[in-house]
Amino acid sequence: MKTLSLRARLTLFYSTILTVILAVFGFLFYDALGLVLENKLTAELRDRVVYLAAFQRLQAGEARLVFNPNDRREAYLVQSAARYYQVFQLPSGLLLVQSQELEMMGARLSPEEVRALAGAQEFTDLQLETERLRFHNAVITGNNATSFLVRVGIPLTPADEAQRGFLRSLLFLMPLGVLVSALAGWQMARRALNPLAQLAAAARKIDIEKLQQRLPTRGTGDEVDEVAAAFNETLARLENSVGQMKQFTASISHELRTPLTTLRGEAEIALLQASSVEDYRHALTSQLEEFNKLSHMINQLLILASAEAGEIQWMERSVDLSGLVGSLVDQLEPVAAAKKITLETNTPPNINVRGDASWIERVILNLLDNAIKFSSEGGHVRVSVKAEDGDAVLRVADTGMGIQAEALPHIFERFYRAEPSRSKQIEGVGLGLSLVKWIVDRHRGRIQVESQVGKGSCFTVWLPLASASAGR
């Protein structure tokens, strides 16, 4: 089943709420109105009873209302108070007097009913074909200890009619009110949702080629503006990511093309010129180097791809950072020595961080590798580790070529290579630092770089100490 539009749902919701509220209040008011009017009529009935008592003459076998027929006002008042008037003798239940109205309505009572009424409540209601009456029942003892049941009535019709009138108005006005409010709600919802429809139309026009476009905001600061602003922020992030992906694709094609062209060139030359096994061996050895570079690059790409896809095996435990740095420095010593670079370390023992040893090893290796790679002969690379404010601080400083200030914010991006390293054809593909940054972030750490062109660079990594993070 197709779900209703938001506009229809809003209107339906408001109309339903309004109907329920009107119905509940209407019912309460209907009930209260009946009660108030009936109470008023009952009070009047009491007045009539008291008034008539003064004119009542009751004696065995006879009951009369005695008044001065010449006093027109008195006659009128007595007559109208006694429009619904009955007197029965008790205990026989014999009807002594009955007003004309009751006579015509056929409101006769059997002796049992009379006796029952005499012992019953003060007020009783009687539903006749045409009217509903409320009676006041009083047992009065007259002369000779004779008892009489005197009943004075009043029609409840005014209360009933007022209630019926109210119900009629309610049943007519309520749907009308609900209809009017539904129409108004429908319009209001259209007005409120219109900016959303405009946003949707504007959003539809944005495709991957036009990610620099933004949704219009009206400056009202309302919810719709908030949605537009949030969408614009997402667009900005998307634009950035798509830009990175484009750059990534361009860089990867470029990076793959160079070694492939070299390989192809070498193979062609070997085929054309090589005449001895030695020549072929030489060509293959040189190709092997290119293959190594290629497989190194593809490896790094695979690691990055699986890291970003969240498919990484992760073992979090205490890692001896001092020990790790020591063994990696030993491992790279020959590489540094080959370039006549001195590797110095200052690593006090037992500095442990929490994380995955193989990933942390990759961080140290990449930083050391860069430091050696971007230093020229006779340079120095200093590695130090210390504990500071709950963090282990790893510092790798070199006296190499340094990084230009405008390149600094980008060096952690994938495939980014600062200018001298690119133009000087220093080996590398620009993936190392982006992986380093990803690993450090996963360890809830941070990385910072300071550098001066021609003087050297210093990379500092903060990683939570094992004891500190265990307590967190």
Which two tokens mark 397? 């400083």
Is the distance from CB of 347 to CB of 401 less than 8 angstroms? no
Q: Which residue lies nearer to ligand ADP by CB, 147 or 244?
A: 244
In sequence order, what are the residues at sequence separation of 6 or more whose Cβ sits closer than 8 angstroms to the Cβ of residue 244?
Answer: 413, 414
Piece of 116-124, 273-281, 330-338, 413-421 that binds ligand ADP (CB under 6 A): 413-421
Q: Which residue lies nearer to ligand ADP by CB, 62 or 419?
A: 419
Piece of 41-49, 129-137, 162-170, 417-425 that binds ligand ADP (CB under 6 A): 417-425
Q: Which residue lies nearer to ligand ADP by CB, 81 or 429?
A: 429
Rule CB under 6 A: choose which of 336, 417, 462, 465 binds ligand ADP: 417
Q: Which residue lies nearer to ligand ADP by CB, 99 or 399?
A: 399
x-marked contacts with ligand ADP along 141-180 as a string, rule CB under 6 A: ----------------------------------------
Q: Which residue lies nearer to ligand ADP by CB, 135 or 415?
A: 415
Q: Which residue lies nearer to ligand ADP by CB, 151 or 373?
A: 373
Give me the residue whose beta carbon is nearest to ligand ADP.
428
Q: Which residue lies nearer to ligand ADP by CB, 188 or 307?
A: 307
x-marked contacts with ligand ADP along 272-311 as a string, rule CB under 6 A: ----------------------------------------
Rule CB under 6 A: choose which of 428, 443, 447, 465 binds ligand ADP: 428
Residue 437 in the binding site for ligand ADP (CB under 6 A): no
At position 155, the amino acid (one-letter code) is P
Place of tokens 């209302």: 65
Q: Which residue lies nearer to ligand ADP by CB, 282 or 293?
A: 293
Nearest-10 Cα torsion for 330, 336, 340, 343: -50
Nearest-10 Cα torsion for 417, 418, 423, 424: -90
Q: How far is the CB of 388 from ligand ADP (least distance, A)?
A: 22
Residue 399 in the binding site for ligand ADP (CB under 6 A): no
Piece of 249-257, 279-287, 314-322, 411-419 that binds ligand ADP (CB under 6 A): 411-419
Q: Which residue lies nearer to ligand ADP by CB, 153 or 400?
A: 400
Crossing angle between the packed helical segments 277-308 and 223-273, to the nearest 10 degrees: 170
Half-sphere exposure in the Cβ direction for 361 (13 Å, CA): 12
Buried b (16+ CB within 10 A) or exposed e, 403-434: beeebeeebbbbbbbbebbeeeeeebbbbbbb
Which two tokens mark 325? 């740095």
Rule CB under 6 A: choose which of 321, 457, 465, 466 binds ligand ADP: 457
Query: For 128, phi and psi rounded to 5 degrees?
Result: -100, 175
Number of Cβ atoms within 10 Å of the Cβ of 325: 23
Piece of 113-121, 176-184, 272-280, 432-440 that binds ligand ADP (CB under 6 A): 432-440
Long-range contacts of 291-296 (CB under 8 A, 24+ apart): 291/263, 293/259, 293/427, 294/256, 294/259, 294/260
Pairing of the two strands 147-155 and 123-127: unpaired
Helix (H) or strand (E) holding 204: helix 157-204
Measured in whole angstroms, how far is the alpha carbon of residue 433 from the centre of its chain?
A: 38
Pairing of the two strands 123-127 and 94-98: unpaired
Query: For 87, phi and psi rounded to 5 degrees?
Result: -130, 125
What does the DSSP 8-state code read for residue 7?
A: H
x-marked contacts with ligand ADP along 372-391 as a string, rule CB under 6 A: --x-----------------
Q: Alpha-carbon distance 381 to 363, whole Å?
A: 16
Place of tokens 């009572």: 109
Size of the site for ligand ADP (CB under 6 A): 22
Piece of 44-52, 110-118, 325-333, 400-408 that binds ligand ADP (CB under 6 A): 400-408
Which two tokens mark 327? 């063994």
Query: For 92, phi and psi rounded to 5 degrees?
Result: -65, -30
3-state helix, strand, coil in the chain (%, to 5): 55, 20, 25
x-marked contacts with ligand ADP along 335-374 as a string, rule CB under 6 A: -------------------------------x---xx--x
Residue 438 in the binding site for ligand ADP (CB under 6 A): no
Rule CB under 6 A: choose which of 90, 170, 182, 429 binds ligand ADP: 429
Residue 411 in the binding site for ligand ADP (CB under 6 A): yes
Rule CB under 6 A: choose which of 52, 398, 445, 447 binds ligand ADP: 398
Instruction: Give the interface with ligand ADP as residue ranges (CB under 6 A).
Output: 366, 370-371, 374, 398, 400-403, 411, 416-418, 421, 428-434, 457
